[in-house]
Amino acid sequence: MTFLVTQSIKISMNIFWLIMMLASMLVLLIVNPSAMLSEMIGASTEALELCIELCAVYVVWLGFIELIDASGLSKKLAKLLRPLIKRIFKIDNEETEKLIALNISANMLGVGNAATPMGIRAMQALDDKTGKANFAMIMLVVINATSIQLLPTTVIGLRASAGSENPADIILPTLIVTVITTIMGILLVHGIEKLRQKLKGRKKK
């Protein structure tokens, strides 16, 4: 079990992407070779369109975030969340705590697009240039993946436009599930980190 935890789950994006690409290209070679290139270019066109859309979204959000920062609100928010962030991420750096506080708040409000730029900046601040993700970075990925959502705005909007009688009745179950999975994620990351420290200690002996 410990071997499993430390060795076999060292998934890197490089291997993962390679497997996805190679497997689908091999199948496509047999099934539909002519679709391969056009499909790739199609996907990258889609990515470009998405990025143009994202650029417009980021202009608005980064503008607002600068206002939040300049007015001192982000500092206040960070101060409020500081005890929690310090405990969960085991960091002690005001600037990084501020970025993480903004990232988590944006996720809670259901505006993931506003959370992204803050998440990227937080990761840059946390990076220790060793090439490996450290504890706080892993925690940030996991917390973003399970993101506590107070308001699943997009989903409610979709249901409302489809004529649902009570489109907001999914808020409570969503909240319960995200709270549970977020706590589970935090505990798991802390647990695995402890296990790794123990193993490291044993190796040194």
Partner 1 sequence: MSAYILPILFILLFLYCIYKRINTYDYFVKGAKGAIKLVVDIFPFIASIMIAVALLRVSGITTWLTQILSPIFNTLGVPPELTELVLLRPFTGSGSYALLEDVIASYGADSYITRCACVIMGCSETIFYVATVYLSQTKVKKLLYAIPVALLCSIVGTILACLLCRVM
Site for partner 1 in 57-116 (CB under 8 A): 58-60, 62-73, 109, 111-112, 116
Among 2, 80, 84, 176, binds partner 1 (CB under 8 A): 176
Among 16, 90, 197, 198, binds partner 1 (CB under 8 A): 16
Q: How far apart (Å, rounded) are the C-alpha atoms in residues 115 and 103?
A: 5
Q: How far apart (Å, rounded) are the C-alpha atoms in residues 144 and 137?
A: 11
Among 1, 3, 34, 173, binds partner 1 (CB under 8 A): 173
Tokens of 149: 């959502």
Tokens of 37: 């290139």
Among 2, 3, 34, 46, binds partner 1 (CB under 8 A): 46
Among 77, 82, 93, 141, binds partner 1 (CB under 8 A): 141
Residues in region 152-171 near partner 1 by CB under 8 A: 152-156, 158-159, 162-170
What is the torsion angle, in degrees rounded to the nearest 10, for the CA atoms of residue 99, residue 105, residue 108 and residue 111?
-70
DSSP class of 58: H
CB of 42 to partner 1, least distance (A): 7
CB of 48 to partner 1, least distance (A): 7
CA dist 103 → 4, 150, 180 (Å): 32, 14, 19
